[in-house]
Structure 1
Amino acid sequence: MNPELYTKILDQGMDPATVTQQIDNFKNGFPFLKIIAPATPGHGIKVLNAEELKHFLEIYPKKASQKEIVKFVPASGAASRMFKDLFSFLEGDGDLEKSSFTKKFIQNIEKFAFYEDLDLYLRSQGSSIAASLASRDYKKIVAALLSEEGLGYGSLPKGLLRFHKYLNENRTPAHEHLIEGVHYAVGKGNTVKIHFTVSPEHEEKFNTEIESVLPGIQEATGLAFEISYSQQKKSTDTIAVTMDNEPFEEEDGSLLFRPAGHGALLENLNDIKADLIFIKNIDNVVPDRLKSTTKEYKMAIGGLLLEAQEKIFDAIRAMDQEITHQSVAQAAQVYHEVLGGKIPTTESGQSLEELA
């Protein structure tokens, strides 16, 4: 690697060895994941029966009240892809018949949670949605929704769009995650801790949105909230390459790196100290009428995991105190029955599973 390229990689905050490996993967292909067998019920997938579901639902609230619980929400995803057809419509001649997507959008405009915000903006400009529909100025409506001068939905992250419409309010996904946290993420100190990973340019807007709705939620529930943020680390980016698999350079000579996928957030996740972390993407939320199923199974999963944590800690403490046939058998049983691990045979040919 030439010194200039090496310096540019360091300036990005990347490890040159990592970038070299990335380029090699582009050139030679990516290594296959070694798969032992498909995950099926009983083999990698645990299916809760009615009795187990009831048990975990009962134990979760008490256990959670003594634990650090965090809701981890990847929230940097942009909404631009959601509106690609509307952007195409803006670039056209405004004929609604040429865009079936935009036609359906316009026909159902009143059903969207952002309808009131959109109408309020158009009224501030001396128009309205009704007036624009009457004059068939559909571009004005779409532009008001997407442009920075209007609602700016074309450049906002998904977490800040009005998603769900209620009688008394219209919620963004960020707002919905606060509500959802009340249902199953109450931990030690009667506190709901939620961590959002956001793009640096949008953190202030997330903070503004959450500060506008959080006081009402706290007053209604009596719960405390701790909201924190982090950004996807630049060191997890992937270098962009040309068709010849050489590093792609911008016009100013700098290297082009692209943000990696959600796997890059493992470092952010690792920075969080908690007993239990629920992970849920920003736009994977449902309105209140559907939340009961989410609550039930999140609590059940939480109960299962916290009970597993206790059994793991008990086994570790037993092994720390003394390595005996009994403590090894206990550890083997937890590893096999609780974690679903496969225990290899020892050099003597004896299976540790048999000890359990």
Structure 2
Amino acid sequence: MVSSWSAKDRDRIAAEGLTFGEVERQLTLFRRGVSPVRLSRPCHAGDGIVVLGATEEEEQLKVYEAALLTKRFIKFVPASGAASRMFKEWYRCLGEGGFSEKTKEDAFVSDLKRHCFFPDLQAVVSAQRHDLEGLLKKRDNATILKYILTEEGLNYGRLPKALLKFHAYPEGCRTALEEHLVEAALYARDGRNCSRLHFTVSSEHQNAVRRYLQQVIGSHESRLQTLFEVGLSIQSTGTNTLAVDPDNRPFRDEEGGLVFRPGGHGSLLTNLNALEADVVFLKNIDNCVPDRLKPETVRWKKILAGYLITLQEGIFARLRLLAAGKTGEADLTEIARFCRKKLHLVMPRGFLKRSLAERRLFLFEKLNRPLRICGMVKNEGEPGGGPFWVDHSGGTDAVSLQIVEEAQIDRNDSGQRTLWESSTYFNPVDLVCGFRDYRGQKFDLTRFIDPEWSTISRKSEEGRDLLALERPGLWNGSMAYWNTLFVEVPLVTFNPVKTVADLLRPQHLAA
């Protein structure tokens, strides 16, 4: 179909950094459709969820501490999300000229002073020759919201979440960005006292984030007695996806040009793949807590890292044995047992009837993959994905541990819906990853994606319907062929901020 692209189309595709083959692949996905993920069963403690005992926790902490001398740690934080969705309700009220319900208006007026940004709001309102207390007394909430959300004031509606003030301290307020700096110094600091982080940001906010880091990083280095090494990257346009119309033909703008859209957080696999590290901590920008609650979060990050390193050592020892080609029946039996007991890998039917060479190759390919340890919390009703055993072929011998989002399953299938609703654990996006192989070389993470885990959704642009394709989610299909372990972690380690009201939860307020 390449010949059907016009010269203008070809230039547009090249400008995005895409190949014709990739665009054709995306069109094929639209036309063929994406099959829903097939759940086998939800994970539970003892069946897909590892629950560590107190002794095991202490052992993994010791492994982590020893690794600080030899391993390169880095914290990877997807931080490109705009704050606009946090203020959805406030935007609606701004458009309507105020709150339609008195209870919501009363809550807004009484709670406003509890927010970290209140002193900043007072300053910008005063600069406009208004009195914030007077506006509150008159209940001129539309004007107050204008000064919070728009460029006439704080412009919070256009900032990234990373630059919003989350927590108050005696010496001043900290943004989400700063809280992640502090966290990194507590568990991503190596033996040379270097604390490494990498933030992915939008191109729109990259300069603002860089300037802010330059302003604050020195004071945190002095206080925490560390040196920060911070990287910033943006989502590559080469991961964008073509939009199509409802008939699966390329969607075109008013000038007849092709339209491409961001490919979702799965596109960040390219950024993750570029990191140079032995152990990578992955956590979302809006999941952070004030200092008084950090100890438990930090402790569990160290435990998960120790658990990853312990498993890696076991995996690497067996891979070296397999690579030497001298494994006998007893060796293969032990390695298969390790795969089942420690990695929760399912052996195919008839595995024991295969030849030694076939079993050796199968086990080598299963073990020689990136490894991730995913913290999982008890499900308290937060929206998001969860840990499941997923059926890859319709048979009982092809299941694996995966993080699944509700949008990926067939909600019209009552059996699948029941399995989804019976899940008792939730994915807080609390991952520790290892993507070096047994020889110390980096895996190419793009080799372990399941492209069938893409999602198609209905959107609109310029008043016209279109279909958008999202790449497999970063911790979903983009890691589908990693070795995956789920470990129960305390709920206190998960404190996301999805709406501005979440900042007034007890976990985010000063004690």
TM-score normalised to structure 1 length: 0.89
For residue 304 of structure 2, what is the amino acid of its counterpart? Answer: I
Using a 3 Å threshold, how does the CA distance of structure 1 residues 16 and 63 change in structure 2: closer, same or farther? same
Q: Partner residue of 1:3?
A: 5
How far is 1:166 from its partner? 2.3
Q: Is the 8 A contact 1:329 1:352 kept in 2?
A: no
Task: Give the helix-richer structure, 1 or 2.
Answer: 1
**Which of 204, 207, 216 is matched with 2:219 structurally?**
216
Task: Point out where structure 2 has 5 or more consecutive residues left out of the alignment.
Answer: 364-511
Secondary structure of the residue that 1:57 maps to in structure 2?
A: helix
Q: Partner residue of 1:91?
A: 95
How far is 1:329 from its partner? 5.7
For residue 83 of structure 2, what is the amino acid of its counterpart? Answer: A
Residue 206 (str. 1) matches residue 209 (str. 2)? yes
How far is 1:55 from its partner? 1.1
Q: Partner residue of 1:143?
A: 146
Deviation per CA, 1:85-129: give whole Å up to 9, x if none. Answer: 2222222234x4447545522321000111111111112222232
Secondary structure of the residue that 1:65 maps to in structure 2?
A: coil
**Which of 165, 169, 173 is matched with 1:170 structurally?**
173
Q: Partner residue of 1:231?
A: 234
Q: Is the 8 A contact 2:63 2:309 kept in 1?
A: no
Q: Is the 8 A contact 1:316 1:331 kept in 2?
A: no
For residue 34 of structure 2, what is the amino acid of its counterpart? Answer: F
- Aligned-partner Cα distance in 2 for 1:100–1:227: 44
Residue 301 (str. 1) matches residue 304 (str. 2)? yes
For residue 171 of structure 2, what is the amino acid of its counterpart? Answer: N
Q: Partner residue of 1:341?
A: 345
Q: Is the 8 A contact 1:332 1:352 kept in 2?
A: no
Equivalences for residues 44-123 of structure 1 within 5 A: 44-94=48-98, 96-98=99-101, 101=104, 103-123=106-126
- Aligned-partner Cα distance in 2 for 1:35–1:134: 54
Q: Partner residue of 1:286?
A: 289
Q: Is the 8 A contact 1:159 1:282 kept in 2?
A: yes
How far is 1:232 from its partner? 1.0
Using a 3 Å threshold, how does the CA distance of structure 1 residues 24 and 320 change in structure 2: closer, same or farther? closer
For residue 147 of structure 2, what is the amino acid of its counterpart? Answer: A
Residue 192 (str. 1) matches residue 195 (str. 2)? yes
Deviation per CA, 1:42-93: give whole Å up to 9, x if none. Answer: 3432211111112112221221232110100000001111212222222223
Deviation per CA, 1:283-333: give whole Å up to 9, x if none. Answer: 011222222221121110011111222222333334445523376566545
For residue 92 of structure 2, what is the amino acid of its counterpart? Answer: S
Answer with 250-259 or 145-154: which moved more: 250-259
Using a 3 Å threshold, how does the CA distance of structure 1 residues 16 and 252 change in structure 2: closer, same or farther? same
- Aligned-partner Cα distance in 2 for 1:252–1:195: 38
Q: Is the 8 A contact 2:109 2:139 kept in 1?
A: no
Secondary structure of the residue that 1:252 maps to in structure 2?
A: coil
**Which of 14, 21, 24 is matched with 2:25 structurally?**
21
Q: Is the 8 A contact 2:79 2:201 kept in 1?
A: yes
- Aligned-partner Cα distance in 1 for 2:240–2:106: 39
Q: Is the 8 A contact 1:120 1:128 kept in 2?
A: no
For residue 162 of structure 2, what is the amino acid of its counterpart? Answer: G
Q: Is the 8 A contact 1:239 1:257 kept in 2?
A: yes
- Aligned-partner Cα distance in 2 for 1:200–1:16: 25
Q: Is the 8 A contact 2:93 2:100 kept in 1?
A: no
Task: Point out where structure 1 has 5 or more consecutive residues left out of the alignment.
Answer: none
What count of residue pairs does the alignment treat as equivalent? 353
For residue 157 of structure 1, what is the amino acid of its counterpart? Answer: P
Deviation per CA, 1:13-63: give whole Å up to 9, x if none. Answer: 223333333333334421233555543333432211111112112221221
- Aligned-partner Cα distance in 1 for 2:212–2:10: 41
- Aligned-partner Cα distance in 1 for 2:92–2:278: 47
Secondary structure of the residue that 1:76 maps to in structure 2?
A: coil
For residue 3 of structure 1, what is the amino acid of its counterpart? Answer: W
Deviation per CA, 1:237-283: give whole Å up to 9, x if none. Answer: 22222233322212233222221222111111111121110100110
For residue 139 of structure 2, what is the amino acid of its counterpart? Answer: R
Residue 250 (str. 1) matches residue 266 (str. 2)? no
- Aligned-partner Cα distance in 2 for 1:201–1:286: 26
What is the alpha-carbon root mean square deviation over aligned residues? 2.6
For residue 247 of structure 1, what is the amino acid of its counterpart? Answer: P
Task: Give the strand-richer structure, 1 or 2.
Answer: 2
Using a 3 Å threshold, how does the CA distance of structure 1 residues 215 and 7 change in structure 2: closer, same or farther? closer
TM-score normalised to structure 2 length: 0.64
Q: Partner residue of 2:272?
A: 269
- Aligned-partner Cα distance in 2 for 1:119–1:59: 49
Residue 42 (str. 1) matches residue 50 (str. 2)? no
Using a 3 Å threshold, how does the CA distance of structure 1 residues 77 and 100 change in structure 2: closer, same or farther? farther
Q: Is the 8 A contact 1:85 1:102 kept in 2?
A: no
